[in-house]
Structure formats: structure tokens, C-alpha cells
Amino acid sequence: MRPLHERFLAEIAAERQRLSRRRLVGGSAKLAGGGALALSLAGMPRIGRAQDDATPEAEAVQFESDVDVLNFALTLEHLENSFYRDGLPLFEDLGTDGFGFSITEQIAAIQAHEQAHVDTLTTVITDLGGTPVEEQTYNFEDAYASETAFLETAMALENTGVQAYNGAGAFIEDADLLTAAGSIVSVEARHASYLNLINDASPFPDAFDEALTADEVLEIAGPFIAS
């Protein structure tokens, strides 16, 4: 366990360092743009909690193209898809939800959506001339330890997925791709709502969701990625 765990941490550290380097490269642009933005937004109320600790400029250097953004999304969709595909068969019957639906069947539907998102993103990235990221090896051992752990991990992954898309949306240049990403994130939000509910949490805990930066997302998702 221990060496494996250390490997995850090293992976995350390397990823964070890579992102920091890119941020450093973009540093001068960040300085130049930052002042103007601060001025124009000085009088505006904070909307949700998205902008508390990151300016768009600080995030901007993380994604250099639409393909970068889509590959980031694909990384998360692969993670979710594998999680459900490999985990769901381990649990015979997850019971019935408050609406009267079979939880096992609902999660099977969620998994089918994640697979569809993987397929779509892979196709679009290829069409754009990019190289789609592939499925990785994941460490879901703890997440599969019990039904409770499985459902709680599912909840965490879906809510993180929403925050990830919300944070990445502003970096998409192409209007049609933004619309398409929007039509995926709302489904992630539906999943999150449902999984919150079956974990006895509020399906909609706040009037505004949050937007996370890519490195915040990687910090959460990183421990699940073994290679």
C-alpha cells in the first residue's frame, strides 16, 4: 500500500509542477491583464464562490487550446466511466432510491452516460487533430471496499466533475464546443444531484455551484490515478 500511495503523491506533485511551470511561462501576460480585470470587476458582487481564489488569468495558462480543455474533461470522464464499469458489478443490489427506482439500474444509466461522454470527447478531439488521452489504471480499492464507500466516491466524483467543467468552460474558444460541453456538464450535475440524494445529502446544497481550477481538480482526482 505504502509505496503505491507514495507513487500517487509523486504523480500529483509532478502534475502540479508541470502546471506551475506553465503558469510561470504565462506570468507576464497574467500581470498585464490582471490589473485591468481587477479594476473592471471592482464594483461587482461576487457571484457564487467561483472567483474567490483564482483569477481567470491565473487559470488561463493551464489550457492552451480547446483540445487541452477537452482532454482535461476526457481524463475525468475516463475516471468516472472506469469507476462505475468496474465497480457496479461488485455490488449485487444497491437497493431502491426515494423515487422508487433501482439504484443499481440508475447507476448503470449513469455509467452509460460516462461511456457516451468518453466516446464523444475522444471523437471530437480526434476530429480537431488532437490526441485523445486514454484510459489509465486506477486505484479504486478503498472506494470499492463497501457499498457506502462506492456510493460516496461516486458522489464525490460527480460533484467534482461539475466543478471541473464549470471552471474549464471559460477557456473554450469555440462557441459550439462550449455549448456541447454545457450539454454534458448539466448531465453531470443531474448525476451529482441524484448521488447526493441517495447519500442523504442535499441534492442542491447551494444556489450556486463552484468552479474549480484544473489543479484543484487534479488534487482531488489524482489519488485515484495509479498510472
Q: Which residues bind another protein (CB under 8 A)?
A: 37, 41, 43-45, 47-48, 50-51, 56, 97-101, 106, 109-110, 112-113, 116-117, 120-121, 123-124, 162, 165-167, 169-170, 172-173, 175-180, 182-194, 196-197, 202-204, 206-211
Decide if 87 contacts 143 (C-beta within 8 A).
yes
Measured from the CB of residue 17, what is the shortest distance to another protein in angstroms?
25
Instruction: Tell me how far, at minimum, the Cβ of 153 lies from another protein, in Å.
Output: 18
Q: How far is the CB of 193 from another protein (least distance, A)?
A: 4
How far is the C-alpha of 101 from the C-alpha of 121, rounded, in Å?
29
Please, what is the minimum distance in Å from the beta carbon of residue 13 to another protein?
Answer: 28
CB of 125 to another protein, least distance (A): 10
Place of cell 490515478: 225
- Copy the grid coordinates of residue 21: 511551470
Beta carbon nearer to another protein, 12 or 181: 181
Identify which of residues 194 and 225 has a Cβ nearer to another protein in the complex: 194
User: Are 169 and 178 contacting, i.e. CB atoms less than 8 angstroms apart?
Assistant: yes
Q: By the 8 A CB rule, do 130 and 177 touch?
A: no
- Which CB atom, from 63 or from 225, has the smaller least distance to another protein? 63
**Smaller CB separation from another protein, 12 or 209:** 209
Alpha helix positions (H), the chain: 2-25, 27-40, 56-60, 66-87, 103-127, 147-168, 175-198, 214-221
* Comparison of 1 and 175: residue with beta carbon closer to another protein: 175
Nearest to 165 by CA among 212, 207, 203, 133: 212
